[in-house]
Chains A and B, each alone.
Chain A
Amino acid sequence: QKEVEQDPGPLSVPEGAIVSLNCTYSNSAFQYFMWYRQYSRKGPELLMYTYSSGNKEDGRFTAQVDKSSKYISLFIRDSQPSDSATYLCAMGTGFQKLVFGTGTRLLVSP
């Protein structure tokens, strides 16, 4: 069993939809949780970072962490075609040794 599980997709939605991206993990010691967005042939871009259970909102993006269920989510409201990318979750006990999910490919159609 992988330490971090993430559905590779692709996840296809129409423009304006609410998108839910998820990761599960097995290591209860993980304290830091991040979401990165990666466009094709580019480096990942940090979107959200959370430390504790609960929700964190930034514009159209909401990151949610449920440590009791070992489950994290990223919600995207009013999705746009420019949101089409691969979304990577990452987590760890410290920043220097993160464990990454495989990424979920999101396609937002106009």
Chain B
Amino acid sequence: DGGITQSPKYLFRKEGQNVTLSCEQNLNHDAMYWYRQDPGQGLRLIYYSQIVNDFQKGDIAEGYSVSREKKESFPLTVTSAQKNPTAFYLCASSPDRNTEAFFGQGTRLTVV
């Protein structure tokens, strides 16, 4: 069953702790993306990767880090430097940079 899997669905962390969100896809897609969704705002791009071992900052990369060591995996680390980490995080993938993206089901991160 092909798709994009984000885990966990809900995540709670204490302020000041780093946390890593998982995103795995078995669609053989080259491009992967991380977005953040907040109430009343459109999705905002955090990082994207067009190929293994390469990634670029999006519009709101500060306080986040990513890695792309395998084609199928694109984990996102929310660091303690991110001022407002509580949000709904969405991972997406596409066959290549010139094709529309498909989304995972999201991870809701709450920092207390």
Measured between alpha carbons, how far is A76 from B101 in the docked complex, in Å? 22
A: contact size bracket? 20 to 34
Measured between alpha carbons, how far is A85 from B33 in the docked complex, in Å? 23
Measured between alpha carbons, how far is A31 from B78 in the docked complex, in Å? 32
Q: Enumerate A42-56 residues with CB–CB distance to B below 8 Å.
A: 42-46, 49
Q: Nearest-CB distance from B106 to chain A (Å)?
A: 5
* CB–CB B45/A97 < 8 A: yes
User: Which of B13-21, B36-44, B64-72, B79-87 sits within the interface?
Assistant: B36-44
Q: Is the interface of A mostly helix, strand, loop or mixed?
A: mixed
Pairs across A and B, CB under 8 Å, 14 listed: A32-B100, A41-B106, A43-B4, A43-B90, A43-B92, A43-B104, A44-B90, A49-B100, A94-B97, A95-B97, A95-B100, A97-B58, A97-B59, A103-B42
Q: Could you list which residues of chain B lie within 8 angstroms of chain A, going by C-beta atoms?
A: 4, 6, 31, 33, 40-45, 48, 50, 58-59, 90, 92, 94, 97-106, 108
Which 10 residue pairs spanning A and B have beta carbons closest together? A100-B42, A43-B103, A100-B43, A43-B105, A96-B97, A44-B103, A43-B106, A102-B42, A49-B100, A43-B104
Q: Could you list which residues of chain A lie within 8 angstroms of chain B, going by C-beta atoms?
A: 4, 6, 8, 32, 34, 36, 41-46, 49, 88, 90, 94-103
